Chain A
Amino acid sequence: MLNLDPEEVAGLPRYPVGRRCPYEIPEIYTRLRAEEPVSKVVMSDGQPVWFLSRYEDVRAVLSDPRFSADRLADGFPNLALGQREGLSKQPKFMISMDGAEHSAARRRVISDFSVRRVAELTPMVQKLVDDCIDRILDLPQPVDLVAELALPVPTLLLAELVGADHADHAYFIDLVHRMLWRKTSGEERVQISIGLRKYFDDLIAEKEANPGDDIISRQIAFQREENGEVDREGLNSLAQLLLIAGYESSASMIALGVHTFLTRPEWLETIRKDPAKTPVAVEELLRFYSILDVAAGRVALADVEIGGVTIRTGDGVLASVFAANRDPAAFPDPDRLNLERGARHHVAFGYGPHQCLGQNLSRLELQIVFDTLFERIPTLRPAVDEADLPFKYDALAFGLYELPVVW
């Protein structure tokens, strides 16, 4: 833990820094990167931590084994109140593991997320997106694309991945949506998380009896082969991690991406004419919005020098992927959204051994959504002015609460 006297802490910038504009990076990020790229900030629980804002330093920390991803360790930047208490009741997620323990856990699942494997999911994702659009076309206008597209697509996709029974889809989707809804009370959240755990427990039991073509069934087979028994708790936390890590983030990128195209007809025209440009645009949307700035916290396991500053054992670190992705040293004219930029070295998915497991799935999902939506509803347009859109300025993952459209 970074030990500072209370007076110094009182003078530090606060983190998270709320965005005030969908496009501009808060001024403090740019100032710190220029003046003090390894600086101190204070978290909402009062803990001072290091804040890294240069691309080079962010990559250095995220790929250095002397920084731990253990979200329960003392000194780890605590992002949400109750985060530590909530996590301590669960078996450890892969995202919180280090070194050999992490690579063993990740090794077991990467075959399900390889480029080839994900490409094989194309018809399934296409169908799912088409089904959502079919429903949208039957609705009275205006339609909220967050509720009808951005949220259902990742939820249905996750349900497919883990082999959730179609009969239970509606129940599952309802749980997941209430989990994200901003008006859901703390008490309800506890009930939802119990409900989800139970849902996955039942699913795992079902897959033990009747294996299918899904991640859970493959993990069960793998575990039986390896040690003769099934680690149900571990599987449950894998399913939950895939949900937590993949759901809100994908929904945010879908909504922000659709909004971006709708408000920039020239880009929409470009991808309509040449869908080969969509993947390039997706990378730029990921870089530009960097929705999960808060994802990459770490805690130092040793004294390490970063950018000329010594970070001490036990100090908490925030490697800002947002600041890194707007670093002029890595991206010329970084604050300009240029959907033809073609830069794939951004760190929107993190960097190092924890770099997003679901990244190729996200890419596929986003490409299919953008290509299909604008092709099937060519007259789609925003139903409200941008100034009236509810952007998620107050949430940990940036995005949109609603996106009303007409056609």
Chain B
Amino acid sequence: MRISSDQDVCTGAGQCVLTEPGVFAQDARGVVELRTDRAEGELMPKVRQAVFICPSGALSVEED
């Protein structure tokens, strides 16, 4: 799957980082930063969970 994030929308709650720190991080400003824009296998449910939990709608995925 392909992951995208919208830094202008992110409100920095960090829910994505808590859900999957291997994919999501926060930059020095506290705004979401993707460590990778692709996820496979075991990571996919985690990423979907992060998209669902993110309070601001900053995250989205496109399934392959």
Contacts and interface: CB of A to CB of B under 8 A. Distances in A.
15 contacts: A63-B56, A107-B12, A107-B29, A110-B30, A113-B30, A114-B12, A114-B30, A115-B21, A116-B17, A117-B30, A344-B18, A344-B19, A344-B49, A350-B55, A357-B12
Contacts of A118: 14
A355 B29 contact: no
Interface of B: 11-15, 17-19, 21, 25-26, 28-31, 49, 52-53, 55-57
Q: Which 8 A-B pairs have the closest CB atoms?
A: A110-B12, A110-B30, A355-B55, A111-B30, A115-B14, A114-B30, A114-B26, A115-B17
Contacts of B11: 103, 106, 110, 353, 355
A248 B12 CA distance: 23
Given A110-B29, A111-B28, A112-B30, A353 B15 contact: no
Given A106-B11, A113-B30, A114-B12, 19 more contacts: A106-B12, A107-B31, A110-B31, A113-B12, A113-B14, A114-B14, A115-B21, A117-B30, A344-B15, A344-B19, A344-B49, A345-B52, A349-B13, A353-B11, A356-B13, A357-B12, A359-B14, A360-B14, A360-B18
Contact of A111 (B13, B17, B25, B29): B29
A286 to B, nearest CB: 13
A112 B56 CA distance: 18
Q: Which of B17, B18, B21, B49 is packed against the most chain A CB atoms within 10 Å?
A: B18
A63 B31 CA distance: 18
Contacts of A212: none
A350 B21 CA distance: 22
Q: Which of B19, B25, B56 is packed against the most chain A CB atoms within 10 Å?
A: B56
Interface string A255-266: 000000000000
A353 B30 contact: no
A393 interface: no
Contacts of B55: 62-63, 350-353, 355
Nearest to A353: B11
A118 B15 CA distance: 13
B30 A355 contact: no
B17 A352 contact: no
Nearest to B57: A63
Nearest to B50: A344
Contacts of A116: 17, 25-26
Contacts of A106: 11-12
Contacts of B15: 344, 355
Contacts of B14: 113-115, 118, 359-360
Contacts of B25: 116
Nearest to B8: A103
Contacts of B53: 344-345
A276 to B, nearest CB: 14
